[in-house]
Amino acid sequence: MQRREQQQALDDAKLDLDGQTGNALVLSREQEQKISELQSQLVNLRRDMRDKQKGLQSRKDQLYSKITWLTVAVIPLVIALTGFAVWIYRRRTTRAV
């Protein structure tokens, strides 16, 4: 949200300049400072966004790895326990009394 507001402020500053001077680009010091300030903020926001995306990607990769290993370990265990339960059930029902 903050990035959008800053981008909008930068666009507004550019529109104000076009409206005031036509095609000539004559900027006051305040306008130059504001534009450079907004551009540096935009660069910082983009850097932060990239860092957050990298962090999310690494978390996603870790989760995928955990799910994969869990699947590899749990499915054979479930099959083995089910087979053991069936074996015990059959052993009890077919045992001579």
pTM of structure: 0.50
The amino acid that residue 82 corresponds to is T
Q: Render pLDDT for 28-41 as a digit per residue (tens, 0 to 9).
A: 899 899 999 999 99
User: What CA–CA distance (Å, rounded) separates 27 from 17?
Assistant: 7
Domain boundary assignment for the chain = 2-94
Mean pLDDT is lowest, of 29-33, 45-49, 60-64, 93-97, for 93-97
Q: Render pLDDT for 3-17 as a digit per residue (tens, 0 to 9).
A: 778 778 777 777 665
Contact assessment for residue 6 and residue 38, using Cβ atoms and an 8 Å cutoff: yes
CA 62 to chain centre: 13
